[in-house]
Structure 1
Amino acid sequence: MTTRSLFATRLYHSRLTGIDPAELEASCLSIAGDDEAGQAWCEAEGYPGYTSYASLSDLPWRFPIFADVVKDLDRHVAVFAEELAFDLGGGKLVLEDIWINILPEGGIHTAHIHPHSVISGTTYVAMPEGASALKLEDPRLPMMMAAPPRRKDAPEDLKTFVYVRPQVGDVLLWESWLRHEVPMNMSEDERISVSFNYRWDS
């Protein structure tokens, strides 16, 4: 008898290199303080805290440290694409957008995917004690109409939800169709991250 694992879902976990965490955090906070359009969008949409997703599309141009971040992310994404055995047909994966997320105490980011992208991810800028982990959902969940729940001691690759608690400077990458969320931030301090999408430029 043999049992094989099929249709793997990959999660890439590594570290930024050559980036000063304190400088990156200061840049995020400075941008958030000056971005009136982003602040207005967050207030209008009921978004807890701050995100530059709907207001700024040129972070690498505004602050050189973001250009350095993108240069390092390009390297990570290329490694991950190779591990995923993508046939890019002479094209390449290129940054589509990059944005700041600042979640205060009680802030959440509900479950979602990133349509029209190939690889998405986040690097972590401030993760105080009690800050939310990243929650990843088994992409087959909508098809499990009659399946019983998994035991608490199920191996990670059979769990319905996987929680990843990153550290400052970590880089997490996943395919953009993977549903994920940020549960409530239970820390009194802000949880700061920088998220991004890569598209296929064929």
Structure 2
Amino acid sequence: MTIRTLFATRFSQTQLDDAALLDELAEACRDLAQQDGAGRAWSRAHGYRGYTSYASLNDLPARDPRFADLVRHLNRQVARFADACAFDLGGRKLKLDSLWVNVLKPGGTHSGHIHPHSIVSGTIYVEVPPGAGALKLEDPRLPLLMAAPPRRADAPEDLHTFIYAEPGPGSIFLWESWLRHEVMPHAGKGERISISFNYR
């Protein structure tokens, strides 16, 4: 019998090994959380436990050189990921479309969603207290599985219905933007700081 694995979904997990830049990014994110009144208001209005610049600021790399330093690193990571996905970009490169800060307080979560109008999405984790919650990734075929039985506990990772990617400080996760994902509840203490982004 020949068994082939078809329709692979790529997910990249790398590490930013630059403690000084992580410290600078943590400071930059906290600065924004204090100064961005529109972002705080949006977070309150939408039940976001903490602060996000998602709906308020769209110029962070131009606004603050600390974010520009991060983007230079992300550009390289995303280019490598696009190559691993065998994207035919016609000689062009993916470009950053949006980048936003998340300062999540204990109890905070983010329900399942995708990132429309983008090709690659991702998150870099700046500060991750113990128990801060994993990124939960969903098998994109889930709505079609119908009568499929559950998988055994010893099933290999590529057969799991959900994958839980545990971040640490400096973790960079990349995935194709159509992949449904959610942020599990922050059950730790202190703030979990991350920066999310889209490329198209």
TM-score by length of 1: 0.96
Aligned to 1:26: 27
Q: Aligned equivalents of 2:59 and 2:33: distance in 1? A: 14
Shift of residue 21, structure 1, vs aligned partner = 1.4
2:70 alignment partner in structure 1: 69
Cα distance between partner residues in 2 of 1:179 and 1:152: 22
Q: What letter is aligned with 1:61?
A: A
Per the alignment, residue 12 of structure 1 pairs with 12
- 1:172-202, CA deviations, whole angstroms, 9 ceiling, x for partnerless residues? 1000000000011001211110000000xxx
The correspondence of residues 138-153 of structure 1 with structure 2, limited to 5 A, is 138-153=139-154
Aligned partner of residue 102 in structure 2, secondary structure: strand
Counterpart of 1:104 in structure 2 is 105
CA contact (8 A) 1:51 1:101 kept: yes
Question: Secondary structure at 1:131's aligned position in 2?
Answer: coil
Deviation, 1:7, is 0.5
Q: Is the aligned partner of 1:40 residue 2:38? A: no
Aligned partners of 2:168, 2:143: CA distance in 1, in Å? 31
**1:89 positional shift:** 1.1
Does structure 2 conserve the Cα–Cα contact (< 8 Å) formed by 1:102 and 1:190?
yes
Once the 2 structures are TM-superposed, how far is the Cα of residue 102 of structure 1 from its aligned partner? 1.2
RMSD: 1.0
Question: C-alpha displacement at 1:103, in angstroms?
Answer: 1.1
- Say which SS state the counterpart of residue 14 (structure 1) adopts: strand
Distance 2:65 2:16 in 1: 15
List gaps (5 residues or longer) in structure 2: none
* Matched residue, 1:134: 135
- The farther-off stretch of 114-123 and 54-63 is 54-63
Distance 2:184 2:45 in 1: 21
Could you tell me which amino acid in structure 1 is paired with residue 149 of structure 2?
A: P
Which shows bigger deviation, 52-61 or 19-28? 19-28
One-letter identity of the residue aligned with 1:7: F
CA contact (8 A) 1:17 1:72 kept: no
Identity %: 60
The reply to whether residue 180 of structure 1 matches residue 181 of structure 2 is yes
SS in 1 for 2:66: helix
| Displacement after TM superposition at 1:17 (Å) | 4.8
TM-aligned CA deviation for residue 154 of structure 1: 1.1
Letter paired with 2:112: A
Matches of residues 69-88 of structure 1 in structure 2 within 5 Å? 69-88=70-89
Alignment of 1:43-58 (within 5 A): 43-58=44-59
The code of the aligned residue for 1:191 comes to: R
**Matching residue's letter, 1:13:** Q
Offset of residue 16 of structure 1: 2.2
How far is the alpha carbon of 1:90 from its aligned partner? 2.5
Q: Distance in 2 between matches of 1:65 and 1:17?
A: 15
Structure 1 position 160, deviation (Å): 0.4
Per-residue deviation, residues 9-28 of structure 1 (Å, max 9, x unmatched): 01111122545211110110
Question: 1:16–1:69: 8 Å Cα contact kept in structure 2?
Answer: no
Structure 1 residue 43 displacement after superposition: 1.0
What's 1:2 paired with? 2
